[in-house]
Chain A
Amino acid sequence: MMQIRSAAVEYPADPGAGAGTTSPCAAPGTASGDLRSPPGKRWRDADGEHIDVRGLAPPGPLVAIVRLIESVADATPVIVHHDRDPVLLYPELAERGWVAETIAGEAGEVRLKLQKG
């Protein structure tokens, strides 16, 4: 069985929090490989936890999204703002009992709603 190390979630300061809109991505993934400050801008909104992983190179988006869903204790949905269909993500979601649906997003954006199945 796979073992996932539990991880504390850190929310970077987000001037757009609560606005319900997407924001440009934060700095790309840490080149040093340090995961203590996971890449991807995150904020909470009425429809769930948001994460913007646009501009991150693989597997940055995968790691950031998995880290976030690992930290969600209740049934809060996770809204992903991406610039491409995250094909590498779906097997990891399936292993954790999460499902993904596309929802309307900005032009050029792929927006997914992730929920515990």
Chain B
Amino acid sequence: MQYKDYYAILGVNKDATQDDIKRAYRKLARKYHPDLNKDKSAEDKFKEVSEAHEVLGDPEKRVAYDQIGKGYQPGEEFRPPPGWDSGFEFSGGPRQASPEDMAAFSDFFESLFGGARTGRHTRAHGFHARGEDHRARIEISIEDAFTGARRAIHLQMPKVTADGHVVAEERTLNVNIPKGVRAGQHIHLKGQGAPGHGQGEAGDLYLEIAFAQHPLYHVDGRDLYLNLPVAPWEAALGGKVKAPTPGGVVDVTVPANSAQGRKLRLKGRGIPGNPPGDLYVVLQIALPPSGSDKAKRLYREMADELAFNPRASLGV
């Protein structure tokens, strides 16, 4: 197990006041809080910062940590001397971190202060309570939301073993992705959170839906956006062109005199629902390559025959 330098994690000096520590913690917590920062790395960082604060923010734990950590360097192999905590008093007062956060703390923390938790569990003997709810964010494809799907998702949940250690337990759940689900919605799996205490029932699992980046479509609520390349003559003269949609290829009528970026709405072709979303086709005028002599001739002909100044609106 590696020694952790909690002072370095919070970015404070060893002689920092309790107020300095609190300020440093709050600042980092605002930056990395998993409810505010969706990066996976932010969550790990937040756990580290919470753990450092749990120790340094509590004067009793801080004194013990300072004593035990003398001479250790961060990352150095660490082994607490037997009976090291006999000279320290721990009041077991109110904790700053929640039980679910504490469960994710490092082995290093566990080896120093894990005993206090065991005590808490003993006190909880014969006590029944519902398990905590768990939350996770999952990425699904737009197609999954379009048709509904069954997906195996992999989740890691911290688990306290019988001897008080914390392990990350991986589990796989088969989840029905409901048709028409939108980004930011949560799906609720009853009884899939943390196990209950005593005979209490298990908590629930909430999965927040996010869409994975799609090569063709963008999502806004239930609406989809598709950039559709068209030839200049298709935009100018109008006509039927083919467009992919999650439900299959459709014919889109391009009106004559369409400008670059024109949005065409295919009603009800977005993500299903009541009402279903729309699919917006955004026309992107693509130029034919001018490499061949024939193409060059046609471009020159247009230049000669058409009085067209694309910069007229700029006054030049």
A binds B: no
Contact surface of B with A, Cβ cutoff 8 Å: none
